[in-house]
Amino acid sequence: MVRQYELIEQVRKYNPKADVGLLNRAYVYSMKAHGDQRRASGEAYLIHPLAVAEILADMRLDEASLAAGLLHDTLEDTLASYDELLKLFGKEVADLCEGVTKLSKISFEDKSVEQAENFRKLLLAMSQDIRVLLIKLADRLHNMRTIEAKKPESQKKTAKETMEIYAPLADRIGLHALKAELEDRAFKVLEPEEHANLSAKMEEWRTQDNLVGRVVGVLKDEFKKAGIKAEVNGREKAFYSIYSKMVRKSLAFDQLTDIVAYRVMVDSKRDCYEVLGLLHDRFKAIPGRFKDYISAPKPNGYQSLHTSVVGPFGNRMEVQIRTGEMHDVAENGVAAHWLYKPAKGGEAEQSKASPYRWLRGMLEQMQGVDDPKEFYENAKMELFSDNVYAFTPKGDLIALPRGATVLDFAFAVHSNVGMRTVSAKINGAVVPLRRQVDNGDMVEIVTSSNQTPNPGWREIVVSNRAKSAINRYLRTQERDEQVRLGREILDKASRRDGWHWDVKQVAHVAPKLPVQNIKDADDVFAALGQGRLFPRQIFDVLYPQDKTLPLDETIDIKAPKNKKKKGEESQNLSGDEAVGLEGIMGGMAVHFAKCCSPLPGEDVVGIISTGRGISVHMKTCKNLEQFADQPDRWLPVKWSKTALEGEARAFVCRLRFHLANDPGALASVASTVANLDANIVEIFTEHRGVDSTTVRCEIEIRTKDHLNRLITNLTALKQVLRVEKIYAWN
């Protein structure tokens, strides 16, 4: 365990002007705050924040980050408060501690909407100050180094989360060494047998004829003869990297030829290319294995030349060539770029030259994405995918996620170019829009002012930029169709019932309607088209003097003829029993309000309407608010025994289904509905997305319990994401 004075000495080596007083105060405060707390291993808790600070010092971070590392668990695990940290250590350190605490509360246990929203919060925290993520990664690294003290189930949960979330994030921001260690430690927990087997094979391989040392010696001699000053070493690849390649390419350990990566460090870019030329001159280059990340850096700033050659002893070997500065970025990623300077008020600010503005740019691109799941999938694609690099006809370099198509390329050039794309050429040859782009391709996009995106494009593109632009356009088109349909519905209703309306009137009453997010006439029409609003609700507000309830089912109660079921005596049902309600005089017209679709088993109330009989609502119906000052119109009613037993009649209930776009999803829903003795009266597709479809149904239900059983059975289907009853106000 590092001691505080050793930590101070380490910081002073790379930052002689560091605020040592701040670090000492943070150490003392953390020690007092954590007191007698112990870790799962039984060690004093203070060991953990000290270890986190040491990892941050290895990244050569500023003293504010190290102070936050020492304090990062105080807000969550002690009586410390944000205001106290603000007073003692300043806003910068307090904000970093608060950011890390928020990240610690994020759970990634499932793939639900909640997880997607958590991921959005993670990215937002990163974009505000990337040091929050650096501290969290250091925290996770030390936890993985000491994971043996946890229970087996907890180990696997932490390791899985590390592999799926934190290791890819570390890689994306350039912390390759940290990423490799996280993966290896998670690999050991998740696949202990595979890890043990690979470890044994690697140990045996190391004892063989000192191949690495001999290759390094030959390379040094070659560079010395050519007068090139270079540092050469051979480094074994990480266990998980080796294992992944074996699985991905179905290779046995003995078939691997690049267990070691040879690295050549030189003084300048010019020397990098000179070394490359020498290697290709002395040894046979392996085709297709050269990558130039110096002229085309990765988005996280990584630069290096990669080549593979047949080495001096007939061995295939991978060589990475870079300068010392490039190596610093390769090892420490974002931390190597995190330059600070005093800002107004004495706090530090990120250098504007930082190459990590891509994170803010990515969030800006996804501002129009309202669906958390869509945001999550798009962000994962942007963060966790490798890149390919292609050129425009003018020679501009475009970076794309691996697997990107020429349509993705068009949107990467400019959103307007993507929207108008009709065809494309790769290296002069015409290709379909779904053709994938390879490294080094020259892509030419052909556009037309008459072209617009279509829903099929969503199946072609993989990049967040393209998906977001296409979805925004299609949502606009869907809304236009909903507005058109809503106007049609209102027109038909007004002609049928003898009402008059115009757009100005509708816009004027829009904010008064019982539906959320209704601001103007188009919002009203769209809500009508979506089924969230009914014409009668609009006319009730337009003409309050003739106020009636929303359009609903009307049943005239008349004494029914006695019907005899086979094998039974004839039933003498009164009118109220026939309709399923008690407390209503025969001959009255009864309306079951569509705004809340009451079912037997739900508490109900009747509202007397002049000339229209009685409208029956759930007692929780929001439309009852308009009758709060008219108690004389309220009629106590209750469901009859016949209705509660499901024998009176079927009641139409409006449900909304959110279905995964899997084959047979709708058929499974229909089959389940039929098996539960319910009946689909009408079905309407509200929205179809890339991964899911929203469907509105009118279904005949007998009781509240019947509905609950139906929803339980439907949500048990893997294709059904969610089922909800529709009310006029949702």
| pTM score | 0.51
Average pLDDT over residues 290-300: 81
Q: What is the pLDDT of residue 557?
A: 38
At residue 155, does pLDDT exceed 80? yes
- Would you state the structure tokens that stand for residue 220, as one six-digit string? 């040094």
Q: What is the pLDDT of residue 137?
A: 92
Higher pLDDT, 337 or 176: 176
Half-sphere exposure of 146 (CA within 13 A, CB side): 17
Residue extents of the structural domains in the chain: 4-200, 548-561+574-647, 651-725
Question: Exactly one of 6, 9, 43, 76 is catalytic; which is it?
Answer: 76
Q: What is the pLDDT of residue 171?
A: 79
Burial label, 128 (beta-carbon count in 10 A; 0-12, 13-18, 19+): middle
Average pLDDT over residues 112-137: 67
Helix 113-128 with 131-145: angle, nearest 10 deg? 120
DSSP letters for 395-420 = --EEEEETT-BHHHHHHHH-HHHHHT
Half-sphere exposure of 493 (CA within 13 A, CB side): 20
CATH of 4-200 among 2.60.40.420, 1.10.3210.10, 1.10.3720.10, 3.40.50.1950: 1.10.3210.10
Burial label, 393 (beta-carbon count in 10 A; 0-12, 13-18, 19+): exposed
Judged by average pLDDT, the poorest of 41-45, 105-109, 312-316, 320-324 is 105-109
Q: What is the dotted CATH code of the domain comprising 651-725?
A: 3.30.70.260
| CB distance 399 to 297 below 8 Å | no
Q: In 454-508, where do the E strands start and end?
A: none
Terminal alpha carbon distance of the chain: 57
Q: How confident is the model at residue 553 (pLDDT cuts 50, 70, 90)?
A: very low
Question: Exactly one of 77, 328, 553, 677 is catalytic; which is it?
Answer: 77
Q: Which of 327-341, 471-485, 537-551, 579-593 tops mean pLDDT?
A: 471-485
* Nearest residue to 3 (alpha-carbon basis) of 43, 58, 49: 49
Q: How confident is the model at residue 547 (pLDDT cuts 50, 70, 90)?
A: very low
Q: What is the pLDDT of residue 335?
A: 57
Q: What is the pLDDT of residue 25?
A: 93
At residue 444, does pLDDT exceed 70? yes
Burial label, 464 (beta-carbon count in 10 A; 0-12, 13-18, 19+): buried
Question: How far apart (Å, rounded) are the C-alpha atoms in residues 415 and 394?
Answer: 18
Give the SS3 label for residue 285.
Answer: strand
| CB distance 418 to 410 below 8 Å | yes
Q: What is the pLDDT of residue 127?
A: 59
Q: Which of 224-233, 460-469, 578-587 tops mean pLDDT?
A: 224-233
C-alpha pair distances (Å), 707 with each of 58, 599, 619, 678 = 60, 9, 18, 9
Q: How confident is the model at residue 633 (pLDDT cuts 50, 70, 90)?
A: confident
76 is an active site residue: yes
Q: What is the pLDDT of residue 536?
A: 77
Helix 82-89 with 91-104: angle, nearest 10 deg? 150
- Would you state the structure tokens that stand for residue 312, as one six-digit string? 């001096």
Average pLDDT over residues 119-135: 70
At residue 387, does pLDDT exceed 60? yes
Neighbour tally for 592: CB within 10 Å? 22
Helical ranges in 151-253 per DSSP H: 152-161, 167-172, 176-190, 192-206, 211-225, 239-248
- Would you state the structure tokens that stand for residue 204, as one six-digit string? 């045996």
**Sign of torsion over alpha carbons 378, 379, 382, 383:** negative
At residue 9, does pLDDT exceed 70? yes
| CB distance 575 to 629 below 8 Å | no
Written as one letter, the residue type at 536 is R
Q: Which of 213-217, 486-490, 552-556 tops mean pLDDT?
A: 213-217
At residue 183, does pLDDT exceed 50? yes
Q: What is the pLDDT of residue 362?
A: 53
Average pLDDT over residues 75-90: 91
Q: How confident is the model at residue 300 (pLDDT cuts 50, 70, 90)?
A: low
At residue 618, does pLDDT exceed 70? yes
Q: How confident is the model at residue 14 (pLDDT cuts 50, 70, 90)?
A: confident
Q: What is the pLDDT of residue 573?
A: 33
Length of the chain: 730
Judged by average pLDDT, the poorest of 65-69, 225-229, 357-361 is 357-361
At residue 662, does pLDDT exceed 60? yes
Q: How confident is the model at residue 550 (pLDDT cuts 50, 70, 90)?
A: very low
Q: What is the pLDDT of residue 208?
A: 72
Higher pLDDT, 121 or 209: 209
Neighbour tally for 566: CB within 10 Å? 4
95 is an active site residue: no
At residue 612, does pLDDT exceed 70? no
Give the SS3 label for residue 146.
Answer: coil
C-alpha pair distances (Å), 105 with each of 37, 168, 661 = 20, 19, 32
Average pLDDT of the chain is: 80
Average pLDDT over residues 147-168: 88
Question: How far apart (Å, rounded) are the C-alpha atoms in residues 523 and 552?
Answer: 23
At residue 476, does pLDDT exceed 90? no
Each residue of 48-73: pLDDT tens digit? 999 999 999 988 888 999 999 999 99
